Structures are given as structure tokens and as C-alpha cells.
Structure 1
Amino acid sequence: MTYEQARAAYADWGVDTEAALRTLATIPISMHCWQGDDVKGFEAATGTSGGGIQATGNHPGRARTPDELRADLEFAYAMIPGRHRLNLHACYLDSDERPDRDAIEFRHFAPWVEWAQGQGVKLDFNPTFFAHEKADDNLTLAHPDKGIRDFWIEHGRRCREIADAMGAAQSGECVNNIWVPDGSKDNPVDRIGARRRLEASLDAMLDGPRDNVLDAVECKLFGIGVEAMTVGSHEFYMGYAIRKGTALCLDMGHFHPTENVADKVSAVALSVQDILLHVSRPMRWDSDHVILLDDSIRAMAQELVFGDLLGRVRIGLDFFDATISRTAAWVIGTRNMQKALLEALLMPRDRLVAAEEALDFTTRLMLTEELKSLPAAAVWAEFCAREERPVGAELVQSLSGYQSTVAARG
């Protein structure tokens, strides 16, 4: 089907495909750097990964240097329509120096800023509270040892300074997302003590405004080594975000497998102004698989569109799979998020809402089912064509061709 035919088909439903395409082009997705190198980073490792951070597989082509990672990112962005962002972890510094985490400065990330400006990509940032000898107990900001807590508080402060400088350099907001692996493998006897320490550490770390930073706190149900209790649970961080005015990060892979994370967005939005979304695909427990264009992603996209939340929710990705081409993983995941958003933008929202408000659930069901047969793929192909991005067999060929050029990395 041609785009003009698809446009006419949607017009019969009262949907303007041109308006949908214009909106989609304005939605940036923050692509995560750590898919490209299996969450290893570019500093000397001083501890275990910790907190359930582990990429499995040994597919050839892992980026081993900042230059290799940037080259992979450039290829991935060239396959993805629209203008997007890069989510950078603190362990991805690019410097001949190797400062410890409590001594990092903006200059250690200057090559990333220069590269991003050249690419027209804006940066987001994350403190790295794992893969360090002072995190091997799966305790950082909640550690009983004040010296260890102070080390990580200083790391977090410096990351806020770096994020602020990044935001100033790009003349816009830099999201600074905070996730810590803190928890207990077996049943603790003093949960509230650990949570009081985490709260106090966060308060010290986030003390004072940063004009170019949006701080976010990220919850988790559990991870490897913290099966009995995660200090920074959903309830802890939701309360913290409400009290302190931070953004709340909802990671789709951080909840119980039967929970509908899309349902949480509107509930949280009534109490929290800013939300950071990490899009991933859980499988069984706490997995970060490459996202599919499945019901969970479609539900999330519809929630963002129908709730008028696109201006308040920052969309980021968080998955890492070393069993497949890492660049293909970026491209597939990002494009699937965009496809889901496009499908939501192509729904006759006013008509559906009117049926629901009239308690006409039959019409609501008929409409939602009939919409599944409309030619969204043709509209997506038009979006890619206007952005000069490949689709179908051409995309597959491009992804395979690039993988062949990096396979010798081992």
C-alpha cells in the first residue's frame, strides 16, 4: 500500500497522518551507550559488576574504545529516523587519566561533548554505582560504613556537576539518572535503617540546584545478590520523588513480570511532575532484552499519547544483549519504540475517549480491534523515506553489512 492510500484510509477514521508524522519527528529517544560494549565502560575495573548488571553472550563486534563506540553509535543513528539523544554512564569517560569515581570531572568527558555537538546529539548522564571495589557488597549510598557512603556521595555530586556542564554546553536539559544496586541477598533485620541511610545520602548528594540538570531516581524490584530486599524500591523512590521534587524513573524491566508498567505512568503523573522512562523487555525476572513491538510497548506508547504526557516523560532505553549484533540491537529497539508511538498517534483518540466516557464499551472494543488492521506500516515507511532511512530488506542488508565490518574485533 502506498502512503497516499494509507493517508486516505486513516482520514476515513478522522486521523491526520501528517500531524502524526510531525509529532513523531519531535520525540527524542535517549539511546543508552552501554548496549555497545556490554556495560564494561572505559575505566580500569576495580570490582565485580554487582547489582544484577550482566550482559550475556559473546557475539563478535563489541566496542573496545570510545572511538569504536562512537563509530557504532554514528552508524546506529544513521539507521534511525528523527533526532535523538545519548545516555552516557560515568564509567564511559574518555581520558588518558584514570581518576577514581570520586575525582571525575567534566574534562574527562569533553571528547563526548565535542562529538555530540558535531553529531547534533544531546547527552544525558548517569552516576555509576556498580563495578567498583566499594560496591562489591551491593551497598553504596546505604552502606553502614560512613567512609564508603561519603565516597559515593562525592561521586554523585561530581556527576551532577558534569551533567550540569553538559547541559550548559548543549543549551538544554541533561537528565541525570540515579540508580544504585543497594540491597540484601538474605532477609535483613533493619530495613528502615538502610533506607534512612539511602535517603540521607541522596539528600547530601542532591543538595543545591543545578540549572541544567533534571535529577531522576530509579527504582528496582530486585537484582542478583539483592533478592531479599532492594533498598531503593518503587515505594521508596516514588515517595522520595514526591517529597524532593526529583523525576521518577520507571524501568519496564524492574517490576514483577505480571505488572503493567504502562498503568503506573498516569498514576505517578498525578503526583510527580517529571518522569523518566527506561524502555526494556523483561523476561522472567529483571531482564533487559531488546524491546519488541509488542503489547507492552504499544500500551506504554498509548498511555503517553492519550495522557498528554509526551512533554513530561523523557524516553530512554535500557537493554543489553551480547548474543546479537549490538548496533542492530540499538536500531531495532529504538525504531520499535518509535513505531509504537506512531501507532498511538494514529489512533482516533477523541472518538475512543468519547465512547469510553459514554460507557459505550462495545464501541470502544470494536474501534480498538478494527484499528489493528489499518496500514500503520505504510505511514512508518513514509516517515523513514522522508528522513532518508532504510526499511525492510534494505535495513536488514545495512545492519548485516555493518556487522561484518566490526566482527574482527572479537
Structure 2
Amino acid sequence: MTKAYDLARDAYAAWGVDTEAALAALSAIAISVHCWQGDDVGGFERKSGTSGGGIQATGNHPGRARTPDELRADLDFAFSQIPGRHRLNLHAFYLDSADNPDRDQIEYRHFTPWVDWARDRGLGLDFNPTFFAHAKADDNLTLSHPDPGIRDFWIEHGRRSRDIAARIGAALDSPCVNNIWVPDGYKDTPVDRMAARQRLWASLDAMLAPAHDPAHLLDAVESKLFGIGVEACTVGSHEFYMGYAARRDIALCLDMGHFHPTESVADKLSAVALSISNLLLHVSRPMRWDSDHVVLLNDDLLAMAQELVFAGLLGRTRIGLDFFDATISRTAAWVTGVRNMQKALLRALLLPQAHLKTAEEQLDFTARLLWTEEVKDLPHGAVWAEFCARHEVPAGTALISSLNAYQQKVAARG
């Protein structure tokens, strides 16, 4: 322990906060790191897709991973700069195989190199079916498509993705979150929203019908306000998926970049948690409309972390990242995003929760305000530095030097 941490521990103790308990709690929180930041949401299929389905990464910074091995090497480096033990979120079109299956033909064996890599490092894996960047998604309609043949194709893809995720969970002895997001919607105003939503509901039912052990698989559905090419109507809206998740008792994914810029996603957590057992949080940073920027330690993130801690939701909320920025070092983006999420959680864990809640219950809003503001001056940075030191990862200028050195190493990639 450093002298700075000793002083910080004493300062927090004077406010009734146990920094050791906060550090222990933070060490137990695993964040799922999204693979698609490493290669600009390209994937490793050899069947060429023709549609982005509303997915676009901007920029062409040197060092993009071109192969699964390069992506795993980048992830190895990123994890070495992040304190704690975490997870990897893998999309279905990041298969690692000499085979060339279409989406409705993927199997667990196409992903075993990822499972072996994760097992060797003690990491958990999460999974996503990929409903975009494919000829059968060119209409921006998949599970809600009017053509039953196209719907059947995507239903089969979803079934196979769930089977793969369940086998990953069993192989790693850690439940694999399988998150379902589809780009379905209309660029201009539709006349029959109900028909599209009925088709999506029925397709989800068919896709989720096969039973899997919940110890291995956790299904989740993800909503969106709108996206590129579906500005007028998104079939899988927040209201649609909130109702579906509640009725089917599956997890609901709240993505911070999938709502109106003035909405607080933190405010939604306790509201949906009353009717939905499990939550998945995609941490992103929206800027104006539906953009996924690298996560900053800003007010939105701090509010999200505080809500998770104060509402007692950490035990049933899976936290993952979801952004893609190709204008900067991809590994630096990963490291910055995860560490900022951890910093936000630490600051929430370092708040005098019991005292603040008591003041609020007693309607003493003056005390609530004063305590909330004064604790902002406490030395949380020294506690974070101690957390990094205990996990043997760099902080401050040492982190910046390490990130820059790795970027120079990979910059020559074509």
C-alpha cells in the first residue's frame, strides 16, 4: 500500500466508507469486452456481406486486426492493461475456421479456437448472433421479413447461435450471454407496424423454443430507438422488447447509445428491474443520434454506475461494452472504455450509500445534497491507483506509454 492510499483510506473512513470493501467488490465485477472494436465490425467470414444493416465504423487508423490471431493478440494486450478478470463478447461472424459456412450452418466447432484461448486465460465468453452484413439482411429486415424463407434462415441462425453459446458456457463453466439484436425497420413511414412486430415476436418464439440449461446460457434481447436506414420505424423498439423479455422471462439489454439523447438510461434500470429478472447493459457513449463512441468517465456513466450499486442490481446485471471507433488506436479504445467503466463503479462503491439513503428517506434533501457534493472531493484517484497496483497494471503516464508502444508495434498492418 502506498502512503497516498493510506491517507485516502482514512479520509473515506471518516465518511463511513470502507475502501477495502469497495476494492473487493470491484474485483468481482467482470466486464464483457466487445471483439468488434478490434477490426471495425468486419468479422472473419469469407462469404461477403453486402449490407451493414445500420452498422458503420468510421476512420482508418493503422493497426486493424485482419485475422483471428491478430485480434486475439490485441485482446491479450488490452486485457493486460485492465485490472481484474473479465470476459470477451464474440459475434457470430468472428468464427475461426477453415470452413466457409453460411450463417444458418455455423456450428460450435467453428469457434473452438476462441474457447481454447479463453480457457487458457481464465476468461468467460459471451456471444451474439449476427443479423447484419449479409445479403439476406439487405432490406434491413430479418426476423420480421415478410418472406418466410428469409425469416426461416435467420431463425435457424439464431437457433444455432444459442446452441453455440450454450456449449461455450458449458465448456468454460460460466453462463454465456447470448444477446439478440436485429436491424429490422423502415426508412420511411410504414402503414402496418403491427404485422412486422407480430412476425418478429413469432420468429423470436421459434428461435428461443429449444431449451438450454440456464447454467450455460442466458438469452437477452436488445432494443433500439432507430438506426441508419430505419429512421421511421424500428420494429424491435424498447417497448417491444421490454414486454417480450418480461413475458418470456429472459434478459433485457439496455444499450446507452440506443435511446433519445435526452433520455437517462440509468433511470430505466430500477424501472425495468421490477418486472425483469436479468439485465444486460451495453455501455456506450451516444453523441447526437445513435453513435457508439469510446466510453468517457462522464456524468452519464457515473449515474449508471451509481444506479447499479444503489439499486442493488450488480448481481443480476451483466455489463458489456459496445462501441467502435476506427479513428484512434483500437486497443487504446478498449482499455480506456473498460477502465472508465471500472472507475465509475469504484466511485459509486465509494459513496456513503447508507447515509445518503437515510437522508432521502427522512426527506432531508439538504443533507442529501451536501453529502453528495462534498464526497466528490475525496481522493478516489488514490484508491483507483491502488486497485491498479494490486492487479499489476499500469496507470497514468505509464499506461499511456504502454498503449503508445503497442500501437507502434501494430501500426504496420495493412
- What TM-score range do you get, normalising by the shorter chain? over 0.9
**Code of the aligned partner of 1:208:** P
**Code of the aligned partner of 1:391:** A
Matched, 1:218 2:222: yes
Matched, 1:360 2:364: yes
- Alpha-carbon offset, residue 48 of structure 1: 3.0
- Alpha-carbon offset, residue 209 of structure 1: 1.8
- Alpha-carbon offset, residue 50 of structure 1: 2.8
Q: Secondary structure at the match of 1:408?
A: coil
- Alpha-carbon offset, residue 47 of structure 1: 2.7
The structure 2 residue matched to 1:271, chosen from 265, 268, 275, is: 275
Matched, 1:239 2:252: no
Contact 2:22 2:346 in 1 (8 A): yes
| Alignment partner, residue 293 of structure 1 | 297
| Alignment partner, residue 108 of structure 1 | 110
Larger deviation, residues 354-363 vs 40-49: 40-49
Structure 2 CA distance for aligned equivalents of residues 353 and 49 of structure 1: 49
| Alignment partner, residue 84 of structure 1 | 86
Matched, 1:194 2:187: no
Q: Secondary structure at the match of 1:288?
A: coil
- Alpha-carbon offset, residue 44 of structure 1: 2.3
1:227-267 deviations in Å (ceiling 9; x for gaps): 00000000000000000011000000000000000000000
1:351-375 deviations in Å (ceiling 9; x for gaps): 0000000101011011111011000
Structure 1 CA distance for aligned equivalents of residues 124 and 38 of structure 2: 18
**Code of the aligned partner of 2:174:** G
| Alignment partner, residue 322 of structure 1 | 326
The structure 2 residue matched to 1:302, chosen from 270, 281, 306, is: 306
Contact 1:50 1:224 in 2 (8 A): no
Contact 1:241 1:247 in 2 (8 A): yes
The structure 2 residue matched to 1:393, chosen from 370, 393, 397, is: 397
Within a 5 Å distance, the mapping from 1:89-168 to structure 2 comes to: 89-168=91-170
- Alpha-carbon offset, residue 343 of structure 1: 0.2
Q: Secondary structure at the match of 1:236?
A: helix
Contact 1:124 1:175 in 2 (8 A): yes
Q: Secondary structure at the match of 2:42?
A: coil
- Alpha-carbon offset, residue 55 of structure 1: 0.3
Contact 1:129 1:179 in 2 (8 A): yes
Structure 1 CA distance for aligned equivalents of residues 98 and 282 of structure 2: 31
Structure 2 CA distance for aligned equivalents of residues 347 and 45 of structure 1: 51
Structure 2 CA distance for aligned equivalents of residues 103 and 358 of structure 1: 60
- Alpha-carbon offset, residue 45 of structure 1: 4.6
Structure 1 CA distance for aligned equivalents of residues 175 and 42 of structure 2: 26
- Alpha-carbon offset, residue 46 of structure 1: 3.0
Q: Secondary structure at the match of 2:411?
A: helix
The structure 2 residue matched to 1:18, chosen from 3, 20, 27, is: 20
Structure 2 CA distance for aligned equivalents of residues 216 and 51 of structure 1: 20
Structure 1 CA distance for aligned equivalents of residues 47 and 193 of structure 2: 30
Contact 1:50 1:181 in 2 (8 A): no
Q: TM (normalized to structure 2)?
A: 0.98
Structure 2 CA distance for aligned equivalents of residues 194 and 355 of structure 1: 48
**Code of the aligned partner of 1:94:** D
Q: Secondary structure at the match of 1:316?
A: strand
The structure 2 residue matched to 1:6, chosen from 5, 8, 11, is: 8
Structure 1 CA distance for aligned equivalents of residues 51 and 262 of structure 2: 27
| Alignment partner, residue 45 of structure 2 | 43
Structure 2 CA distance for aligned equivalents of residues 188 and 48 of structure 1: 24
Matched, 1:281 2:273: no
Structure 2 CA distance for aligned equivalents of residues 197 and 176 of structure 1: 21
| Alignment partner, residue 57 of structure 1 | 59
Q: TM (normalized to structure 1)?
A: 0.99
Structure 1 CA distance for aligned equivalents of residues 50 and 175 of structure 2: 32
**Code of the aligned partner of 2:126:** D
**Code of the aligned partner of 1:69:** L
Q: Secondary structure at the match of 2:315?
A: coil
Query: In angstroms, what is the RMSD of aligned CA positions?
Result: 0.7
Contact 2:35 2:88 in 1 (8 A): yes
Aligned length: 410
Structure 2 CA distance for aligned equivalents of residues 14 and 209 of structure 1: 47
Contact 1:51 1:226 in 2 (8 A): no
Structure 1 CA distance for aligned equivalents of residues 411 and 53 of structure 2: 30
| Alignment partner, residue 234 of structure 2 | 230
Structure 1 CA distance for aligned equivalents of residues 23 and 173 of structure 2: 26
**Code of the aligned partner of 1:276:** L
Structure 2 CA distance for aligned equivalents of residues 49 and 74 of structure 1: 30
The structure 2 residue matched to 1:383, chosen from 380, 387, 390, is: 387
1:22-48 deviations in Å (ceiling 9; x for gaps): 000000000000000000000025333
Matched, 1:256 2:260: yes
Contact 2:47 2:102 in 1 (8 A): no
Q: Secondary structure at the match of 1:397?
A: helix
1:91-117 deviations in Å (ceiling 9; x for gaps): 000000010000000000000000000
Matched, 1:176 2:178: yes
